[in-house]
Amino acid sequence: MVVTLVMGGLAGCAASAPAPTPTPEPLPTATATVPACQPSPIQTSANGFSEIQGIMHADGELWALLFFGRAYIEEELKIVWRMTGADEQFIVEGRHEDGTAVAPIWGPEQHGGSNWERPGDEWGTGFNFPKPGCWTLTATSGATAGEIYLDVLSR
């Protein structure tokens, strides 16, 4: 009987003792950074220039043909546009990530034709961006609208 009591007592102690809680391991610190600008992907057109397919906010297509390599501040940058559904006035505006807006320094000028084979009417513009950073260029014509993103660098 004594043996039973001792065993019962030990079993009772073991059952009532709290189980050790595991120490949580610290979570790894995030070291990835978000890029300052996600410029639109640039591809090479059939005539050897850099072009961007815009992101549309309605049905249609928007293309931008860039007549420059990298975009720098305070430099005239020529961009030719093609947009489907551009049956009304074609308008382009640039907006910096801080909200600063710029209009083209010239254009849009409608082009009668060219060897750039993308759908839609063709328009030429010139921009001069006053500050570096991410610029959203929005093109609209009636209900048709689209945009491209440029990372403009300082000199």
pLDDT digits (tens, 9 = 90+) for 57-85: 878 899 999 999 999 999 999 999 999 88
Residue 20 included in any domain = no
Residue 34 included in any domain = no
Q: How many CB atoms lie within 10 A of CB 31?
A: 5
Residue 18 included in any domain = no
Do 150 and 135 touch, CB atoms closer than 8 A? yes
Asked, as a colleague might, if the bond just before 108 is cis with ω within 30 of 0, I would say yes
Tally of domains in the chain: 1
For residue range 4-41, what is the model confidence (pLDDT) as tens digits?
333 333 334 344 455 554 444 443 343 334 345 788 99
Residue 73 included in any domain = yes
Predicted local confidence at residue 10, as pLDDT:
37
Predicted local confidence at residue 59, as pLDDT:
80
78: burial class by Cβ within 10 Å (0-12, 13-18, 19+)?
A: middle
For residue range 84-137, what is the model confidence (pLDDT) as tens digits?
886 678 999 999 999 999 999 999 999 887 889 899 889 999 999 999 999 999
Q: What's the CATH code of the domain at 120?
A: 2.60.40.10
Predicted local confidence at residue 29, as pLDDT:
40
Domain encompassing residue 87: 43-153
